[in-house]
Structure 1
Amino acid sequence: MYPRILIIGAGAAGVAAATKLIEKGYKNLTILEAENRIGGRIHTIPYAANVVDLGAQWCHGEVNNVVYNLGSKFNVFDANSARYENFVLTKSDGTQIPLEQSDKLMGLMWSILETHKNELSQYRGSLGSFVMEKFRASLETPEYADINHDTAFQFLEFFHKFENSIEASDSWFDTSGPGYLDYWECEGENLLNWRDKGYTTILEILMKRYPFSASNSPINLEEYTHFNKVVSNICWNAGPDGTVSVRCADNTIYDADHVICTLSLGVLKERYETLFTPTLPAIKKNAIHGLTIGTVDKLFLEFETPFWPDGWKGLSLLWNKNDLEDIRASKNSWMEDVFGFYVVDYQPNVLCGWISGKNARRMERANEDDVRKTCMFLLRKFLKSMTIPEPVSFKRSKWYSNSNFRGSYTFRSMTTDLLNVSAEHLALPLSNACGVPVVQFAGEATHDHYYSTVHGAIETGWREANRLIHIYQRRCQMFLKNICYCSKSRKDLLKI
């Protein structure tokens, strides 16, 4: 008899765990999904000429990347044409930093982050403090004598926002210096897009639906999934037999032998005190407190036709001091942290703006039409040489406002260092009196080195599925061994 397995969340980790279990014959399985769709923070939607990804967008790297390994078999990837580190840096008065200077400043930043890793690993402070020290020291050298103070400061503020969007931090002074190195980059192309298909392709591959083929045996995961099910309590000492009882907000109750919880760290932070009965052990609470999740949002603008010239890839925004003071005094001061607008591959008429941190959360609370108008204000202010029409449509992400996510992805913060916690602590299962795991944890936040990524999330889903598979394989082997032993003993008795 196969165990009753309950998976909370149908994002990348949940889908990976479910498909792995189903492939191995574990079909006594139920998925509880709070949204009305499969995907979690993978959310591909139709928009303009093709699709856009409101959440996960790129496959980051090729070597030791399970997403690349799965997708490359079907030739679904293309290198992103827009390189976010190479855009023309444009000031709020419409002028541009000379390319030679912008390349030199950007090269300095990458050099600080790449060539001082040994020193950073021993640093006892924030990533921001480390970078600022190195940046200021470098500017005092003759090599950077041609760059004035104002330009350097404006660039530093831009790069700060750019780096925040990579980490999902509110500030690089929140990001741990040595913790920054916990993330492992996969070698190879770091910005692989999905052409005109979107990141949902990886879910279709996991469910054996892509590419469509009569020889495939697709997994109809919807048959296992109960949608719009917000979990309100996980009782993990529900009975003497060690079963788990899960209650949803609509008062439906599901009993299981094992639960794989893939809730985002943002949801765990908000609800862990009431979500688990009995209360979580201290090591798990500390992990939830110490690991950090931030907000990164996108702002999509569709135009009837491109107003930009051929070959133009976008712009990065640098604020002059007086302009910055003016917008900080405005009602939409959150616009300060929109750090750029860039073209979208396979979307000829679309620009995507990026914003992160506390101002991203403020943007989410603003009226949608105000956000659209503010984006247009920014484009017209920085691109004074172009005639910019009104967009024909606008779409934004709101990852923090959604109570089923409460954030975009995780990073290692100064609090992580202070509490001395790791993803390994968050991944530890809750076990019954016999030491059998009854509640397991998966999701990008539980990966030691590939946190914040889909490939990390998938690996953790497989990890927890394999944990159960190995438990029951051992039980089956012991059962068969006992049968053989009993049969042998009976034959010996008959000889007497």
Structure 2
Amino acid sequence: MDSSTSLCDVIIIGAGLAGLSAASYLIENGVFDILILEGDNRVGGRVQTFVDNSSEAVFDFGAQWIHGSTDNSLWKFAKGKNLIEEEIRTYDGEGLFLREGGREISETLVSEVKEVVNSWLEECCSFSRSHGNGIIPSSVLEYLEEKKQNYLESCDNNLDDREALLQWNIRYQIIDNACFSMEELCSKAWGEYKECEGEYCNTIKGGFMKIVENLLESVPEENIIKNSKVFSIQLVDDLNINGAVLVKSTSGYYLANHVIYTPSISCLKTNCDIFVPSLENPILKGISHISMGSINKIFLIFQDKFWDDDTKGFQIVFDDTNGNEKEWYHDLTGFDIFPFHRNCLVAWVGGHGALLTEKLDCQTLKSDCHNLLQRFYLKRHIPPIETIHRTKWHSNSLIKGAYSYRTAPFDMCLQDPIWSKEDKPLLLFAGEAYSYSHYATAHGAYESGRDQASKLVKWRKGIL
């Protein structure tokens, strides 16, 4: 070992929710010799809050909600810190549903189609519990297309609006699942995700970064090294030292007893070659069953507010968009009211459209969004867009997307440590992608970090 190599008990790679929750858990349980290596110049990972000094409005570029409260440890943590926003409610995919030319679809029909689609998705959950020889659709999309055809054949009115609303709901699900197509989503894995009961969209006072700041209160600043990009993780399974992990990064070399790896699943899949020896086939197979698409947000601040106080949003219901002339905005669902700024709407873009937005300049995005509203909402003059804030999560080389989805059932081996010959846990993976039932969520990341850290604590106590 080189004399310049630093010794450390536990190294955590990544200072996002999983990494910070793992660190805080270890410190709570008496493990103080830890070091977090963060590749970026900031902590938080997929949590990033921007405060507009002129308006004091808070914009969450990444995670912005805690989903549910029952059996949700992140909600419990935030509630204990008085961080849950109780006064202001946010809306997602609600409001006026508009066809080109400004015609509004009736609330009754919108609700009916939403309920129908949600019932189909609920039926999809049963496939994860199926152990018989029944035919299981290859993807969620295959099941939805079959149900859609039967549904439309059973209807005798508003067929055009119904079909357009079905397509809108599929776009919504593509964004919600951070995939590129519902065809990628494994029907047999669909039911693995479990919602926590309670308010679905819990907003954080002052922005989601407040959760990160509260986690940092228990992690000394000197235990975090920023701008430290890891390029090698070598398992040194030497019986003389009962195994160790040599981590090489741009900030130095470190020899640790244990490593918790928390970067996104996209980063792991891209950088599998940093592990020496190579990860074993069961782990590689498990990783291959998880993918990660992208979602981007576009915050539009208008010169003036043009909507009523009780408006929840402007949802864009396109005609058929399956042709070759598809534009980036065909992958957005609409414009939601952003309650933390008087004159702001926010657009969510998923699928391939999310990638396309990252190649466009702000002026083009402004123009496209303004034109879209003019085409679909004719009741009032649309004032100029003064300011735009936009995200580029796919282009971030340390993130590479939004969050994970399942292309096959989850392999529980991804939650197991990689052991030394003497049964010492050397390497563990943590993050939302490794949560069996809470993947794709902030609380899944938080829980995963604590769960993996708890395994190290239990091992030290001889109970793992």
What does residue range 87-236 of structure 1 map to in structure 2 within 5 Å?
Answer: 87-114=95-122, 117-118=125-126, 121-122=129-130, 123-141=136-154, 144-148=155-159, 150-195=160-205, 197-207=206-216, 218-236=217-235
Q: Structure 1 residues 290, 118: CA separation in 2 closer, same or farther (over 3 Å shift)? A: closer
Q: Tell me the distance in 1 between the aligned counterparts of 2:395 and 2:8.
A: 36
Distance in 1, matches of 2:416 and 2:180, equals: 28
Q: Does the aligned pair in 1 maintain the 2:290–2:405 contact within 8 Å?
A: yes
Q: CA deviation at 1:172?
A: 0.9
2:3 paired residue number: none
Q: Which has the higher helix share?
A: 1
Q: Deviations over 1:221-276 (max 9, x none)?
A: 4221110111111111275522211112x36212211111001100011110x210
CA distance in structure 1 between the aligned counterparts of 2:80 and 2:445, rounded to whole angstroms: 20
Residue of structure 1 equivalent to 2:133? none
Q: CA deviation at 1:404?
A: 0.2
Per-residue deviation, 1:449: 0.5
Structure 1 counterpart of 2:439, from 428, 451, 461: 451
RMSD, aligned CA = 2.2
**Deviation for aligned residue 1:199:** 1.1
1:329 matches 2:334: no
DSSP 3-state at the match of 2:342: strand
For 2:265, the equivalent position in structure 1 comes to 265
Q: Which amino acid aligns with 1:390?
A: P
* Distance change (3 Å), C-alpha of 1:170 and 1:121: farther
TM-score by length of 2: 0.91
Percent of aligned positions with the same letter in both sequences?
29
Deviations, residues 340-368 of structure 1 (Å, cap 9, x unaligned): 11011322221110011122112112223
Q: Name the CA distance, whole Å, in 1 between partners of 2:421 and 2:40.
A: 34
Are the equivalent residues in 1 in contact too, given 2:59–2:207 (CA < 8 A)? yes
Q: Is the 8 A contact 2:137 2:187 kept in 1?
A: yes
Structure 1 stretches of 5 or more lacking a match?
A: 208-217, 476-496
Q: Give 1:287's aligned residue.
A: 286
Which amino acid in structure 2 is aligned with residue 188 of structure 1?
Answer: G
Matches within 5 A, 1:417-428: 417=409, 421-422=410-411, 424-428=412-416
2:426 aligned to which of 438, 442, 446: 438
Separation in 2, partners of 1:439, 1:107 = 44
Give the letter aligned to residue 264 of structure 2. S
What is the correspondence of 1:384-403 to structure 2 with a 5 Å cutoff? Answer: 384-403=378-397
Q: Is the 8 A contact 1:341 1:351 kept in 2?
A: yes
Amino acid at match of 1:297: N
CA distance 1:307–1:228, shift in 2 (3 Å): same
1:462 maps to which residue?
A: 450
Q: Matched residues in 2 for 1:251 and 1:205: separation?
A: 26
Distance 1:30 1:118, change over 3 A: closer
Please report how far the alpha carbon of residue 76 of structure 1 lies from its aligned counterpart in structure 2 after TM superposition. Answer: 2.8
- Aligned counterpart, 2:28: 23
Show the 5 A alignment for 1:57-76: 57-76=64-83
Per the TM alignment, residue 120 of structure 1 is displaced from its structure 2 partner at its CA by 7.3
Are 2:312 and 2:337, in contact at CA under 8 Å, matched by a contact in 1? yes
Indicate conservation of the 8 Å contact 1:85/1:106, yes or no.
Answer: no
DSSP-derived class of the 2:255 partner: strand
Tell me the distance in 2 between the aligned counterparts of 1:181 and 1:147: 32
In 2, the alpha carbon distance for the partners of 1:110 and 1:472 equals 46
Q: What's 1:51 paired with?
A: 58
SS at match of 2:146: helix
Distance 2:331 2:295 in 1: 11
Aligned residues: 447
Rate the CA distance shift 1:339–1:86 in 2: closer, same or farther, 3 A.
closer
For residues 59 and 304 of structure 1, do their structure 2 counterparts lie closer, same or farther at Cα, with a shift above 3 Å needed?
A: same
Return the letter of the residue paired with 2:397.
S
Any idea what the Cα deviations from partners look like across 1:33-85, whole Å, max 9, x if unmatched?
01111111111111343211111111100101111111223443246634435
Deviates more, 1:77-86 or 1:263-272: 77-86
Where in structure 2 are the equivalents of 1:305-384 lying within 5 Å?
A: 305-321=304-320, 324=321, 329=325, 333-384=327-378
